[in-house]
Amino acid sequence: MADVSGITAVKPGTGASVTTGVYGATVTIGQLLYKDASDGKLKLADSDLSEAAATAIAIAVTPGIDGEKGVIITDGSVILTGATLVVGGTYCASATAGGIKPESEVATSQRVTIVGVAATATQLNLSFLATNIVHA
């Protein structure tokens, strides 16, 4: 199984915390983001780039480019239109910048950052947890 694909829209679900931030990269809808401590911008989370980059904190609701403000969700549930999730499955940050993948797909040498658990085939209950553990 590969990264979650086909996301055409991200909609807030129950208890969603919707806010804005400044993007530090080209971002598309549904990508995971981390906050870069050096400039405060939101950049694409990546589980094998660095500890900081693996620390996903949000999912993009709107697309944008470096320097633009974007809408993000940091907590609660999200509806990932176009995606197909496995109900009850745990999802993590991917080694593909901004990607989301099933926990079972986290490979050796990738940091484990839990994003959430699928409540339905399109609803992901966010629960960001950057363990900083490198998968063996």
CA distance 50 to 73: 22
Total domains, the chain: 1
Quote the mean pLDDT of the chain.
Answer: 96
Whether 1 is in a domain gets the answer no
Whether 35 is in a domain gets the answer yes
**pLDDT of 136 higher than 90:** no
Whether 4 is in a domain gets the answer no
> Which residue type does 54 have?
A
Whether 54 is in a domain gets the answer yes
Query: How many other β-carbons are positioned within 10 Å of the β-carbon of residue 47?
Result: 28
pLDDT of residue 1: 58
**pLDDT of 9 higher than 70:** yes
pTM of the predicted model as reported, rounded to 2 decimal places: 0.96
**pLDDT of 67 higher than 90:** yes
Whether 3 is in a domain gets the answer no
Whether 53 is in a domain gets the answer yes
CATH code of the domain in which 77 resides: 2.40.300
Whether 118 is in a domain gets the answer yes
Domain range for 21 is 9-134
